[in-house]
Amino acid sequence: MNFFKTFLASCLGSLLAFLVLCGLGFFLLIGMVASFSDSKDQVIVKNQSVLHLKLNGPITENEVEDTFEDLPIPGAVSTTGLLPLKRAITNAKDDPKIEGIYLDINTLMAGYGVARELRQALVDFKESGKWIIAYSEYYTESAYYVASAADKVYLNPEGELEFNGLSVEVSFFKKLFDKLDIKPQIFRVGDFKSAVEPFMLDRMSEENKLQLNEMITDIHGTLLEDVAASRSIEATRLREIADKMLVVNTKTAAEYGLVDSLIYFDQVQAELRARLGLAENTKINLVKYGKYKRSFSTSSTSKNEIAVIVADGDILSGRAQEGVIGSDTFAEELRKARTNDRVKAIVVRINSPGGSALASDVMWREIKLATEVKPVIASMSDYAASGGYYLAMACDTIVAQPTTITGSIGVFSVLFDMSSFLDNKIGITFEEVKTGEIGELITVTRPLNAVEKNIWQKKTEEIYEGFTSKAAEGRAMPVAELRKIASGRVWTGAQAKERGLVDILGNFEEAVTIAAKAADLGEDYKLRYYPVQKTFLEEWLGGLEENAETRMLKKELGTNYDTYQYLKKLKNYQGSQARMPYELVIE
C-alpha cells in the first residue's frame, strides 16, 4: 500500500511539475507574442530611408505574418507575399521618407508570372523619379530578370550571373515503378495531356517536346524584350548573348552591359551614402520590407468592396491549407462575396497548376453564380492551367501575364495498381468479395478488369466533354474551335490571348481596374483579401505535430523516406484530374 501511495504521489508531483512548466512556457510565449506585437504595431520610418528588399525566399500570392522574424524559431520558414509586397513598393513610390530601393536578390523562388509582376512594380516605382540599386554576389536567370529593372545593377567581382536562356527538365518514373512492381492504369483525353507521361514513359513524347519548346521560347522572348528596354540593349543582341552563352564570368557580364560595375558590398554602401548625401561611415537607414509594411495602412473608409479571392496551390476537395486550394473553402468564400451587398465586384487571383476535376467544377459553379449578380475578373499569376483555367473560364474577363502558363484544357485519370508491390515487396495480399460484377473502382490492391477500365475511360471522356463545353461557353466560341486549342496543350499567356483563351495581357492591378470599372466604382472602393491569412504563430504551432511525425518517419524509414514521400504524393493523382503536366519548373 505504501508503494502505491508513493508511486501515485510521485506521478502527481511529476504531473504538477509538467503543468507548471507548460504554464510557464505558455505565459512566456504569450509574453513574447505581446512584446513583439506591441513593438511592431507602429513602425516609424525616418527621413532619408532606403527600402531594403531582400527577396531570396519563397514568394507566394499572400504571406503568413512572421511575428518572430528576428528570432531563430526552429522549423519556421516565412514567405513573402507578392500582393502585399507590391503594395509596399507602391506606397514607397509616394512616401517622402523613402529615397530609393536597395534590391538584394540572388535566387528568385517564384515563376516568371510572379517575376514579371514584381518587375513591373519596380519599373512603376522608378516613374516617381526615385532610384533602385540592385546588388548580389550572384544572380540566377530569374533573379537577374527582376534586378535588371534597377537603375544600377552591381555584381560582386568574384560572383556569377546566369544568362543562357531557359530550360525545362522533366523527371520520369516509369523505371522506378517497374522496379517497385507498381503499374499505373492511365486514362486520358488529348494528345498533349502529358501530365501522365512521367508514369508511362522514360522520355518526352514529340508532342510534349513541341509544346514545351514553343512555350519557353515565347516566355524567353518576353523576358528579353523587358531586359532590353531597361538595359538599353537590343533584344536580338541579348538573344545572341544568351544563345551562345557569351557571359561566362563577371568580366564578360560587365563587358556585354548586363551589369554596370563589379564592386563589393562596402562600395555599394558608399554609393548609397553618396545618393543620400551622407558622410562616410554614417549609418544608412535601411528599412526592411517586413517592417516597412507596418509603417502604413491601406485601409479605406469606402463602403464599396472589391473582394480578392486568392486561389494558390493544388486543387483538392475539402478545406484549404498551405499550398492547397480546398474547394469547400473557396466555394464558401465565393458564396459570401456573392451575397454580401458591400462587395461590388470580385477578382479571382489564380496561381494553380490544377488538380481534382470534381473540386475544380465545384468552384467553377460558384464563380458562375457570382457572375450572374456582379462582375468577376480572373487575374492569372505564374500558373492558371487545367483546373486553374477551369476557374478562370467562368469569369467575365481573364487577365494574364504574357509569361503566365495556362490552358492545359484536358483531363486524365490514373489509378496505381500496387498489388504486386504489396505482395512481392511487403508481403501483403488482398481478396475482394462483391455483390455485383463490378468491384471497387478506386483501388490500389488489384488491377482493374476490362469492364472497369472501360468505365474509367468513358468517365474521363465525359469530364473532358464537360470541361471543353463549359470553356467554349465561357469564351463564347464553338466547342469544335475550342477543342482545337485544347487537348491538354499548355500555352503561355501571350499564346493564349492569340487563341482567345485570355482577354487581356496585364497584371493584378489591371484586373482590379477592370473590376472597378465594370462595377462603376471609379476610385471609390477598397480591396479585401480572402481567405483571411493565418498568423505566423498559428501556422507554426499547427506544424509542430506534423514536424514530429516527419522526424519519426525519417527515423523509421531511413533511406526509404523519399520513396515513401513520392508514393504518398501519388494519392493526389488518384481518380480524374484536371492538372497540367507534372511540376513544371523553368530555369
Q: Are residues 446 and 398 in the same domain?
A: yes
410, 464 contact by CB (below 8 A):
yes
**C-alpha torsion angle, residues 265, 267, 272, 276 (rounded to 10):** 150
Same-domain check for residues 277 and 339: no
CA 3 to chain centre: 61
Residue for cell digits 481518380? 575
Q: How many CB atoms lie within 10 A of CB 48?
A: 15
Q: Are 343 and 264 contained in the same domain?
A: no
CA distance 181 to 417: 9
Backbone angles phi, psi at 17, to 5 degrees: -65, -40
Report if residue 28 sits inside a domain: no
Cα angle for residues 175, 179, 184 (degrees, 5° grid): 65
Same domain (yes/no): 283, 311? no
Considering the domain architecture, whether residues 368 and 470 belong to the same structural domain is answered as yes
109 - beta bridge partners?
58
Residue 101: closest CA among 277, 265, 282, 275: 275
Least Cα distance to 380 among 510, 482, 481 occurs for 510
> Are residues 321 and 410 both part of a single domain?
yes
Amino acid at residue number 554 = K
In a domain, residue 384? The reply is yes
The whole-angstrom separation of Cα 353 and Cα 174 is 22
Q: Catalogue the E-assigned strands of 190-264.
A: 261-262
Tens-digit pLDDT profile for residues 5-20:
444 445 444 444 444 4
Q: Which DSSP helix (H) or strand (E) runs through 326? A: strand 324-326
Dist CA 473 CA 505 (whole Å): 21
Grid cell in block for residue 374: 456582379
Question: Domain check: are 415 and 285 in the same one?
Answer: no
Last residue in a domain, options 230, 257, 292: 292
Contacts of 208 (CB under 8 A, 6+ apart): 170, 192, 194, 197, 581
Catalytic entry in 142, 386, 487, 576: 386
Tell me whether residue 193 is one of the annotated catalytic residues.
Answer: yes
Number of domains in the chain: 2
Q: Is 67 part of any domain? A: yes
Its domain, for residue 151, covers: 49-163+247-292
| Active-site hit among 93, 193, 374, 497 | 193
Question: Is 172 part of any domain?
Answer: no
| Per-residue model confidence (pLDDT) at position 257 | 98
Q: Which of 292, 327, 361 is the last residue of a domain?
A: 292
Report pLDDT for 412.
86
* In-domain check, residue 2: no
| Helix, strand, coil share of the chain (percent; to 5) | 45, 20, 30
Query: What pLDDT score was predicted for residue 568?
Result: 53
Residue with cell 561611415: 281
Whether the CB-CB separation of 582 and 172 falls below 8 Å is answered with no
Strands (E) in 55-189, as ranges, are 59-60, 80-81, 98-104, 131-139, 152-161, 183-189
The answer to whether residue 316 is domain-embedded is yes
The residue length of the chain stands at 587
In a domain? residue 326: yes
**Co-location of 84 and 153 in the same domain:** yes
State the residue for C-alpha cell 513541341.
Answer: 210
Taking the CA of residue 37 as centre, how many other CA atoms within 13 Å lie in the half-sphere pointing to its CB? Answer: 10
What is the DSSP secondary structure assignment for residue 560, as one 8-state letter?
Answer: G
Q: Are residues 258 and 367 in the same domain?
A: no
Could you tell me if 337 and 278 lie in one domain?
no
Active site residue 576: no
**HSE toward the beta carbon, residue 503, CA cutoff 13 A:** 18
Q: Are residues 338 and 282 in the same domain?
A: no
299: left (phi over 0), alpha (psi -120 to 50) or beta: beta
Please tell me the distance from the alpha carbon of residue 327 to that of residue 342, in angstroms, as a whole number.
24
One digit per residue, the tens of pLDDT, for the chain of length 587 reads 444 444 444 544 444 444 444 544 444 444 444 444 444 567 899 999 999 999 988 899 987 655 555 554 544 456 799 999 999 999 999 999 999 999 999 999 999 999 999 999 999 999 999 999 999 999 999 999 999 999 999 999 999 999 999 999 888 999 999 999 999 999 988 666 677 888 899 999 888 898 899 999 999 999 999 999 999 999 999 999 999 999 999 999 999 999 999 999 999 999 999 999 999 989 999 999 999 999 998 888 899 999 999 999 999 999 988 889 999 999 999 999 999 999 999 999 999 999 999 999 999 999 999 999 999 999 999 999 999 999 999 999 999 999 999 999 988 888 899 999 999 988 999 998 988 888 888 888 999 999 999 999 999 999 999 999 999 999 999 999 999 999 889 999 999 999 999 999 999 999 999 999 999 999 999 999 998 765 555 555 544 444 545 555 555 655 555 555 555 555 555 556 665 545 566 76
* Single-letter residue type at 405: I
Last residue of a domain, one of 264, 292, 320: 292
Between CA 218 and CA 74 the distance in angstroms is 42
Domain CATH for 83: 3.90.226.10
pTM of the model: 0.85
Q: Judge if 73 and 134 occupy the same domain.
A: yes
Say whether 305 sits in a helix, a strand or coil: strand
CA atoms within 13 A on the CB side of 378: 38
DSSP three-state, residue 461 = helix
Q: Is residue 323 part of a domain?
A: yes
User: Which of helix, strand or coil describes residue 153?
Assistant: strand
Integer Cα distance of 175 and 179 in angstroms = 6
Residue 574 dihedral angles phi and psi, to the nearest 5°: -65, 135
- Collapsing DSSP states into helix, strand and coil, what is residue 581? coil
DSSP one-letter code for 348: E
Residue 559 CB contacts under 8 Å (≥ 6 apart), including other chains: none
Beta strands in 361-403 (DSSP E): 376-385, 397-400
The C-alpha atoms of residue 561 and residue 550 are separated, in whole angstroms, by: 9
CA 362 – CA 530 distance, rounded (Å): 18
